[in-house]
A = this chain, B = another copy of it.
């Protein structure tokens, strides 16, 4: 291991000047002569000097690091969002810490708390699926620069980057109706979060706008077990014969396909399927699947930009709420 770490002390010794001078020179202080600066810079480069981050953090209370807290890295939406975040962070010379909560609220809070002692300059977070921690976050935003993205608590007046869940959900439902669907089932996920509820409202209101009665029976709630979802969907088909499926989360797609296969229902002839999805392989999905795709990368990008705005302005008392647009991607020649 490098026992001969090069630090400003070493530079100072080699140049026969004081540590303070080296420090100032490295920071391009106006009170150092050009000549000295050059000597310092040259040697620093020659010796491959880089400042010790722990030491400068301790002094300056800046870590050049942000944290991203999300439910799951191996999720198309979040991995794309991270990509966006990482890109912005890199431009600002920042480092990015990743934490996944696995939808576990306690883990989420535990991670977050572990970041409050100055480990990071700011946090980007996409909360787990419930609002139990509303009070927690209300306090938290006073302690650390924090930007919520995608999964937010609506009741919190802070920085939030979201998508137009209501509008896109409305449009999606309208699309299914336009395609001739009369009985559209709604596969419900993220029920405890604004995003999930907004998607549900969009669905309901689109039905209303088309003077179609809302039918509680056509609503299916997400279960954590995949087989259970398949069973539930099959049962839904058997009992209520929907001619359209609108899934509010990506996790329902596979169960829907499996259920249809099991029941020999073909898509989109027998039933039209539309789902929220960020599957990178969406192009390959059965061409009958129309999707609503969120701009995951852009959300990460915007969220990070927002955080850096806060970090630079030092003032993070003013709320900001950015809403990005999702895209309805139609897959078939029949447009359904």
Main secondary structure of the interface of A (DSSP, over half): mixed
Tell me, yes or no, whether A5 is within 8 Å of chain B by CB.
Answer: yes
Stoichiometry (number of copies): 2
> Distance (Å) between the CB of A143 and the closest chain B CB?
5
Q: Say yes or no: A79-B86 contact (C-beta < 8 A), given A50-B116, A54-B57, A113-B50.
A: no
Tell me, yes or no, whether A334 is within 8 Å of chain B by CB.
Answer: no
Task: Assess the B63–A72 pair: CB atoms within 8 A.
Answer: no
Report chain B residues within 8 Å CB of A80. 74
> Distance (Å) between the CB of A136 and the closest chain B CB?
13
Set B72, B75, B79, B254: member contacting A284, Cβ < 8 A: B254
Report chain B residues within 8 Å CB of A1. 142-144
Report chain B residues within 8 Å CB of A253. 281, 284
Tell me, yes or no, whether A175 is within 8 Å of chain B by CB.
Answer: no
Q: Could you give, for residues 91-116 of chain A, a 1 whenever the CB lies within 8 Å of some chain B CB and a 0 otherwise? A: 00001111110000000000001101
Task: Assess the B51–A117 pair: CB atoms within 8 A.
Answer: yes
Tell me, yes or no, whether A73 is within 8 Å of chain B by CB.
Answer: yes
Report chain B residues within 8 Å CB of A73. 73, 79, 82-83, 86
Tell me, yes or no, whether A210 is within 8 Å of chain B by CB.
Answer: no
Expressed in whole angstroms, the Cα–Cα distance for A257 and B285 within the complex equals: 11
Tell me, yes or no, whether A45 is within 8 Å of chain B by CB.
Answer: no
Set B90, B116, B258, B284: member contacting A286, Cβ < 8 A: B284
Tell me, yes or no, whether A118 is within 8 Å of chain B by CB.
Answer: yes
- The listed residue with most B CB atoms (<10 A of its CB), out of A5, A63, A95, A257, is A95
Tell me, yes or no, whether A332 is within 8 Å of chain B by CB.
Answer: no
Report chain B residues within 8 Å CB of A95. 97, 99, 119
Tell me, yes or no, whether A53 is within 8 Å of chain B by CB.
Answer: yes
Report chain B residues within 8 Å CB of A282. 281
Task: Assess the A86–B63 pair: CB atoms within 8 A.
Answer: no
